[in-house]
Amino acid sequence: MREAAVNIEKLAFGGSGFGRIEGKACFVPFTAPGDMAKIRVRSEKRSYLEGELLELLEPSSLRVPPPCPVFGTCGGCNWQHLSYSGQLAAKQEIFSELLWRSGRVESDRILPIIPASEPYGYRTRVQLKLRSNAGEPHLGFYRGGSHFVVDIPHICAIAHPAVNRIIGELRTLMAQFPEPDKIPQIDAAMGDDRKVIVIIHYIGVRRLEIVQFLQQNLITLSSADGIFLQSGRKATLTKVAGIERLAYGVPEDVLSGVPETRLFFSRGGFSQVNYRQNVALIDTVCSWAGLTGRERVLDLYCGNGNFSIPLARNAATTVGLEEYEPSIRDAVGNCETNGVKNAVFLCSEAAAGVKKLADAGEKFDVVLLDPPRTGAAEVVGHIHAFGPRTILYVSCDPATLGRDIGILKKSGYEVVKSRPVDMFPQTYHIESVTMLEPVHRHAQVST
């Protein structure tokens, strides 16, 4: 494999630095804009090269010392070697480039990124991988591009302190566990009150014995407020001890004149990993929706009502669609908890639910969607049937967002504005909110 020197020009989606060797694009992980790097070419494709950093000939001024001792080996973070201001600038540029390339969204439609107030210690939810090596459990995350478990030392730099306490206790528990080689993954999720639920994934056949072992060793997991065993799909969750749901709040100052909204989600249900940035998302969505109390709102992929319930405060009616039934139950319960009486939640896969509502002639003034990373290609082409004056698309993947914007354009909608949100500091991932309107009433971009 040949070696070469490359000047890193910028960062690319996926986390690698980008440069050129003899005019050919080259991507090198763990480099920074401004680096002059000596690399080894590990892979050569028709249109690009992939390199491995060997030596920094001239380091970039954007570089900072990474706080995690396994950074560069663990696949959890990409950019701990970059200043936070450098990360934000890179995300702004990457987001703008991707939306132009795949959705033809002009850069003047892209608003400044919302930074995180805590670039470290923010994650309230982690999926820990487990590997048993000569009887010793290794607990951590996969190495980038592999299924090799990197054992994390003591704490994870981006995890919340309450989650890190659980990680330490899990390490002690796994050292005593009867079948550590039958535990591929352990999930830990935290509410904003620092209560934590742990889900231990088990692939063995001694399920009842393992439940009894956990119940007899609750003192080892003293920081866990709820413990569950899962031996397949989420439907196999077995309660070991403790609470069954977690909660987070939406402060009253987010929605003018409305008291704090308290939202619960059950064990195994989805929640954002960064509660402070989730509030920023909700604030943006509610502000851009422009509700006056007369509108009908449709919320696709609604989960536990994360957006539906705050929006319902200023809408005539809100309808939420979600295919995971426990999340629908959470959403209904959250309405009762918060005194919301104008929201309806339907358990349905998004595409099927949209078709059913459209066939029934339903109309909505605002349609919100917050799909998984794969996007909503099977849904967005049918949203125009509802005649919305506003579409709000919350995305965790700018590539699929750009693709779906292209589909919405064919239905007569145009991007008014889009704002990236840094939900995941130290990584290349980008959350965002995008507002679209019919071309005939397309308004000027406003901040």
Polymer length in residues for the chain: 447
Report the chain's C-alpha Rg in angstroms. Answer: 23
Number of CB atoms found within 10 A of residue 61's CB: 10
Active site residue 396: yes
Write down the catalytic residue from 26, 302, 335, 396: 396
Q: How many CB atoms lie within 10 A of CB 358?
A: 15
Task: Give the Cα separation of 328 and 141 in Å (integer).
Answer: 31
Burial 285-301 (b: 16+ CB within 10 A, else e): bbebbebeeebbbbbbb
b/e burial code for range 203-229 (CB count within 10 A of at least 16 → b): eeeeeeebbebbeeeeebbebbbbbbb
Tokens of 55: 């030596």
Q: Among 29, 30, 52, 33, which residue's Cα sits nearest to residue 41?
A: 52
- Token readout for 50 is 């992939």
CA-wise closest residue to 417 among 435, 398, 402, 432? 435
Catalytic annotation, residues: 396
